[in-house]
Chains A and B, each alone.
Chain A
Amino acid sequence: DVVLTQSPATLSVTPGERISLSCRASESVDTYLHWYQQKPNESPRLLIKYASQSISGIPSRFSGSGSGTDFTLSINGVELEDLSIYYCQQGNSLPFTFGSGTKLEIK
């Protein structure tokens, strides 16, 4: 199985700050890496697909990059509503796997 390691586990940020979250795969997943946002008591929401492709309705401050084994989710100007847990997920091979998540806390 492909293991996805996310870092950091928790990130405390100031509104307006630009941040980057990391997702590292145990083997290459090409660009079959997707990012989800899960707000408290809500279902996950697809944020970025195929490493860097934007999703309709998602604010433009969210962007993704990477390929192979190293991926980054960036938020350019964090807002209070971004308080969430962010998960990466690989769709390159079965079984699909998720990272353990990065929890975003607002200072």
Chain B
Amino acid sequence: QVTLKESGPGILQPSQTLSLTCSFSGFSLSTSGICVSWIRQPSGKGLEWLATICWEDSKGYNPSLKNRLTISKDTSNNQAFLKITSVDTADTAIYYCARSGYYSSYIPFAYWGQGTLVTVSS
């Protein structure tokens, strides 16, 4: 059974760095073809893909967030991480991690976590 669960600080101040953790079970990020992605959703708005990391440590980022994103993984502990630097109120959102994959092409987000709400406020 595949499960994912996000965790984060809940609230942080503008200009700080947001650190998110995705803890998962039922699969391994060392298995060929497996990827984990981060997607966010501001309240009442749509979905925005942020970043993806795959089994062989390849990474993809949404260029709209320029150089603010860093995705990483800890294969031994079944975790993936996302850091967003210099946050502001526009980064207030529910952050989801999701399992996807790559087998000659990217496969869709078949499994999602419950999401973690992050509020940026002074």
Contact = CB atoms under 8 A, between A and B. Distances in A.
Contact of A43 (B46, B106, B114): B114
Interface string A65-106: 000000000000000000000010101101111111100000
A3 interface: no
Given A32-B105, A32-B106, A43 B48 contact: no
A44 B110 CA distance: 9
B46 A96 contact: no
A97 B46 CA distance: 10
A11 interface: no
B49 A43 contact: no
Contacts of B105: 32, 91-92
Contacts of B114: 43
Contacts, number: 55
Given A87-B47, A96-B49, A98-B49, A46 B60 contact: no
A94 B46 CA distance: 18
B112 A45 contact: yes
B107 interface: yes
Contact of B64 (A43, A95, A100): A95
A45 B115 CA distance: 13
A91 B63 contact: no
Nearest to B112: A43
Interface of A: 1, 32, 34, 36, 43-46, 49-50, 55, 87, 89, 91-92, 94-101
